Amino acid sequence: MASNKKYWKNEAELNPNDSIVEALRQNEFVEEIPVDDFLGDKQNLSTSNTNRRDFLKYVGFSTAAATLAACEGPVIKSIPYVVQPDRIVPGVPNFYATTIANGFDFASILIKTREGRPIKVENNTEAKVAGGANARVQASVLGLYDSTRLQGPIANGEPIEWQALDAAVKSKLGSLQGSGKQVALLTQTYASPSTSRLVAEFKAKYGNVNHVTYDAISEDAALTAFEARYGERALADYDFEKAEIIVSFGADFLADWQGGGYDSGYSKGRVPKNGKMSRHVQFEANMSLTGANADKRVPLTPSMQMIALAKLYAKLNGTSAGGELPQNVEMAIENVVAQIRKNKGGAVVVTGIDDINAQAVVLAINEMLGSKAFDTKAPRYVRQGSDKAVNALVADMKAGKVGALIMDGVNPMYTLPNTADFAEGIQNVDLSVLFSTNYNETAEVTQYTAAANHYLESWGDAQIKKGHYSLMQPTIRELFDTRQFQSSLLNWMGSDSSYYDYIKETWNTFILSGNDWNKALHDGVFAASSEATTNVEDAASVADPMMVMTDTDKEEADQSEETEMEPATSISIDSAVRSLANANTAGMELTLYSKVGMGDGRQANNPWLQEFPDPITRVTWDNYITISKADAEEMGFVNEHVANGGLDGSYANVSVNGVAVNNVPVIIQPGQAKGSIGLSMGYGKKAGMKSEMQTGVNAYPLYQNFKSIQSVTVEKAAGMHEFACVQLHKTLMGRGDIIKETTLQIFNTKDHSEWNHVPQVSLNHQEVPATSVDLWDSFDRSIGHHFNMSIDLNACTGCGACVIACHAENNVPVVGKKEVRMSRDMHWLRIDRYYSSEDSFEADNVKKEELDGLWGEKGSLSGFGEMEDPSTNPQVAFQPVMCQHCNHAPCETVCPVAATSHSRQGQNHMAYNRCVGTRYCANNCPYKVRRFNWFLYNNNDEFDYYMNNDLGKMVVNPDVNVRSRGVIEKCSMCIQKTQLTILEAKREGRLIKDGEFQTACSSACSNGAIVFGDVNDTESKVAELAKSDRMYHLLEHVGTKPNVFYHVKVRNTNEA
């Protein structure tokens, strides 16, 4: 099965005559060592003042000097604590449970601290909601040590004292009382009970306070639809683990859709158990992470998606809806309806269409189906923003009705579509204060910029889902003279209690209902028993902070929007369906989205995230327009590879109603719906950023009316853009069987030898399985630990949390855009993305059979041209690849200095201090997982990311060596972690339980795709997985006997 399919990573590979692809196949290191640059230039050499004798003198002198200098070691100082804190033992990490709630990402996490410094984010396994830490959350720890952070409050560009800021704000707030002008709080979504209570008290004290919550990427449509139907401004929660049929209309729910965090539940349903797994059908325009994981993906422009959704509703409802759809889409809807009818409770429909009607219809469908995966009783609070309120505020500002504007966690001058209005409005505001960790676009126009804490320095709490509370505690004291927003509010209200006391009071009064505060703080999460929650809801007398907020907010909304239309208390589903069915659009349809690596752009100055390759396009350090091949050809956009493996793309100008964003690079994206383009937000930030981080273009100006779907005009612009794209790096070398997949039907009915075929080799003129032939004497590994890693291609969604976790754990350097372009990225763990196209070829076969004659409707002349392009809608598979730790490692045998060697425990060791940098090992590695340090990346100002400043270096893991120039490095299977686990067991004199052994990637994978353990422990999970029928090793015929194994990807292609 698997071997019949054609896999490719890049479209260029589909062209058999592409010389660059051929060259890349042959060369491990594309870049020649640039000796010719300085030796080839004869003229330059002859005119040089340095003659041969001088050269020898310099060499002699420097050698002698270096030798002499090496004789005397430096004097190293060691400074112990004066008073050592009780819990800190140098060399032993401490873990603290906390929560990230930065307005875009919400997750309960553990923070690993060493000598008091937070260095790593781990998943909090106690947390039951909102999944694990995604790539951005994993990377957020680096933001703490950002050297561009504000180190104290600023007034009009000049540093000031907090007292001065406090005095100014207090006097202004006092004078505004009764003046008729409002005090506006423009903040991120907190989902925080304590903050809500605090804001309510602040309102009570200062009267005319208008609290506006603003999400840069708005979920207003979903919130309003939910509010209209269920009376609460929240988001429905979905448990995809319980869903057997998942139908998504443009909902990228594995990424950031409605706050994200759905991937771990989804993954659990994707692993075939007892012959069953969920079926996922995705209708979408952009090739999203979710679409890439779908069993069936239908590329469809947003307006068509609306029609399709209307049809789905109508068919389930037994009515009919208008609108025209292509026949294959009609078929797909028909099949989906048939499947849902068979299993109503097991189906769930979601949509990311930024339209209140679509959201309302989806809620209606799920309710109608009685979906098990659909939860409206305990909704999520991770998005609260109101477009209407934001627009009203900007209007008020312009009208001079706002006396004071206090902002926290938002950057409207960057994220608002119409920043000019805001800039004009803020001129009419008497006092403007921005709480921000960095100097940003908004700080440029506000009077006071209050340096805010990083979340790892702050107290806080969050109610991510109703009844599920989490606490945020500081893991380090403020590095700079900063203060968090809530503490400042308390200060300005004249309260002398700290925010910590305030949270504790809130929790003890409203949340804990007698449970222990210290335990809640230790766990980081607290789930109110269902009884308690109902009590709070029923007892109206109890002032639930959440209620307080919503009530007062409503009042505010009512007051300020009297003239405007009342929010529809109930949306008529029939009219909603009708308006969906009538959806049409002229021109290209743009879908704005957020990238897995960048989100809404608040972490744009995080080099880990900038260098994180996008799961789909594999492009780093950029955003771009994604366009279908057909459209690109029509408009003249090209993508081409240059000799060093770099990718170049045309530029385009995009405009919406006269608002233009110019010179956006274009990527031709297989699977992009024809007639649609995609563009990610979060890039193009400029203010307060290092020049290296100022990448991409800002797409927010196109986010008109906070709608992610826009009708745009696209035209070609001059020039070519140089991408730093890793997709052609480390090519397949023609070894297509590196990835294996099958369908659920075959998986259930046929023997595993058919769908998980072991390659055969000839031994004594007989075909035998490659696994049974061994050229080498095997080492006996039956004693002690033998580490194995299992990667389930069904559970892996390609989210990339493991990539960042590996980065943080192993001090992997950031090399920058230019170096990535030259295939010098250092990621120890990469997630390969393969396209394949079985479906379309089958259709072609039918078509080819039916060809009749040369001319005419079925003539071969036109017919072959019409044949489907494999890249219009490819299937996608993700495959995380790190060092496979082969038992017969090809790298070990070719190392001339024995720098890489094997251990009894199954790990392939790499002694950096022994390596001389011949790179033979990298050449001989069939998996291309070895990385060469072309430069010294630490303490080198040429690489101004984080390892060159004292602040950034604090994130470095002290247990792992920081590699130097000229050595090869690679995945060590986190030997520092396995060794520590062993040591702890030895010290305590006990055996090691299964699950104790973890690597950075396996513990970061909340989807359960990566499982690590000791196969010699027969009870362990990894030993069980190793016996699975789906298990295979990469490139088995090479005979390397890796210690990492994979599970064949199974697709649920059952159409009926």
Partner 1 sequence: MRKVQYRNQITKFLGLSFLVSFIFTVSVSAQDDTAEVAETPVAETAEASAGGDPVKGKSLFQQNCAACHALNRKMTGPALANVETRLAEEEGLDKEWLYAWIKNSPGMIKSGDDYAVRIYNEYNQAAMTAFPTLSNADIDDILAYTAAPPPAAATAAAPTEVPGGGGAQPSGISNEIILGALALVFALLIFMLYSVNKTLRRVMAANDLEVEQEAAQKRTPIWKAFAQNQFLVLVTVIFLLLGSAYFAYGWMMQVGVDQGYAPIQPIHYSHKIHAGANKIECKYCHSSARVSKHSGIPSLNVCMNCHKSIYEYTGGPDGPSQEDLANGYTNEFYTNEIKKLYKAVGWDEENQKYTGESQPVEWVRIHNLPDFAYFNHSQHVSVAGIECQTCHGPVEEMEIMYQYSSLTMGWCINCHRETNVKVEGNEYYEKIHAELSKKYGVENLTAAQMGGLECGKCHY
- Which residues here bind partner 1, judged by CB under 8 A? 70-71, 73, 75-84, 89-92, 780, 783-784, 899, 901, 903-905, 907, 909-914, 959-962, 972, 975-976, 979, 982-983, 985-987, 989-992
Q: How far is the CB of 808 from partner 1 (least distance, A)?
A: 16
In Å, how far are 9, 29, 691 from 723, measured between CA atoms? 16, 18, 17
Which of 90, 400 has the CB closer to partner 1?
Answer: 90
Q: How far is the CB of 351 from partner 1 (least distance, A)?
A: 48
Q: How far is the CB of 82 from partner 1 (least distance, A)?
A: 4
- CA 261-262-264 angle, to 5 degrees, is 95
Q: Are 261 and 106 spatial neighbours (Cβ–Cβ below 8 Å)? A: yes
The Cα 121–Cα 140 span in angstroms is 8
SS3 511: helix
Q: Exposed (0-12), middle (13-18) or buried (19+): which is 869, by Cβ within 10 Å?
A: middle
Q: How far is the CB of 330 from partner 1 (least distance, A)?
A: 58
Q: Are 870 and 281 spatial neighbours (Cβ–Cβ below 8 Å)? A: no
Which of 374, 937 has the CB closer to partner 1?
Answer: 937
Which of 212, 808 has the CB closer to partner 1?
Answer: 808
Which of 212, 925 has the CB closer to partner 1?
Answer: 925
The Cα 294–Cα 247 span in angstroms is 9
Alpha carbons within 13 angstroms on the beta-carbon side of residue 824 total: 21
- CA 945-880-269 angle, to 5 degrees, is 120
Residues 6+ apart with CB under 8 A from 776: 888
Which token pair is 993? Answer: 């339980």
Which of 101, 968 has the CB closer to partner 1?
Answer: 968
Which of 73, 896 has the CB closer to partner 1?
Answer: 73
The string of DSSP letters for 992-1028 reads PPTT----HHHHH-TTS-EEEEETTSTTSHHHHHHTS
Q: How far is the CB of 911 from partner 1 (least distance, A)?
A: 4
Which of 79, 1056 has the CB closer to partner 1?
Answer: 79
**For the chain, how long is the longest CA-to-CA vector?**
97
Which of 779, 864 has the CB closer to partner 1?
Answer: 779
Q: How far is the CB of 1042 from partner 1 (least distance, A)?
A: 17
Q: How far is the CB of 1010 from partner 1 (least distance, A)?
A: 20
Which token pair is 1038? Answer: 């090479």
The Cα 905–Cα 1014 span in angstroms is 9
Q: How far is the CB of 68 from partner 1 (least distance, A)?
A: 10
From the list 355, 382, 296, the residue with the least C-alpha distance to 100 is 382
Which of 288, 907 has the CB closer to partner 1?
Answer: 907
Among all chains, which residue has been given the structure tokens 């700080």? Answer: 443
Q: How far is the CB of 784 from partner 1 (least distance, A)?
A: 5
Q: How far is the CB of 827 from partner 1 (least distance, A)?
A: 18
Which of 511, 883 has the CB closer to partner 1?
Answer: 883
Q: Are 738 and 5 spatial neighbours (Cβ–Cβ below 8 Å)? A: no
The string of DSSP letters for 110-143 reads EEEEETTEEEEEEE-TT--SS-S--HHHHHHHHH
From the list 897, 118, 166, the residue with the least C-alpha distance to 458 is 118
Q: How far is the CB of 940 from partner 1 (least distance, A)?
A: 17
Which of 34, 91 has the CB closer to partner 1?
Answer: 91
Run of H or E including 747: helix 744-749
Q: Are 195 and 384 spatial neighbours (Cβ–Cβ below 8 Å)? A: no
Which of 89, 861 has the CB closer to partner 1?
Answer: 89
From the list 146, 85, 104, 96, the residue with the least C-alpha distance to 124 is 96
Strand partners, 1010: 791
> How many residues are there in the chain?
1056
SS3 588: strand
Q: Are 459 and 521 spatial neighbours (Cβ–Cβ below 8 Å)? A: no
Q: How far is the CB of 66 from partner 1 (least distance, A)?
A: 12
In 279-430, beta strands by DSSP E? 279-284, 296-299, 347-351, 374-380, 402-408
Q: Exposed (0-12), middle (13-18) or buried (19+): which is 778, by Cβ within 10 Å?
A: exposed
Q: How far is the CB of 481 from partner 1 (least distance, A)?
A: 20
Q: How far is the CB of 67 from partner 1 (least distance, A)?
A: 8
Q: How far is the CB of 785 from partner 1 (least distance, A)?
A: 8
The Cα 59–Cα 50 span in angstroms is 12
SS (HEC) of 1025-1051: HHCCCCEECCCHHHCCCCCEEEECEEE
Q: How far is the CB of 71 from partner 1 (least distance, A)?
A: 6
Which of 760, 961 has the CB closer to partner 1?
Answer: 961
Q: How far is the CB of 95 from partner 1 (least distance, A)?
A: 15
The Cα 430–Cα 405 span in angstroms is 8
What is the gyration radius of the CA atoms in the chain, in angstroms? 30
Exposure string over 940-972, b if 16+ CB within 10 A, otherwise e: eeebbbbbbeeebebbbbebbbbbbebbbbbbb
Q: How far is the CB of 135 from partner 1 (least distance, A)?
A: 24
Strands 588-594 and 448-451, by their bridges, are unpaired
The Cα 312–Cα 316 span in angstroms is 6
SS3 916: coil
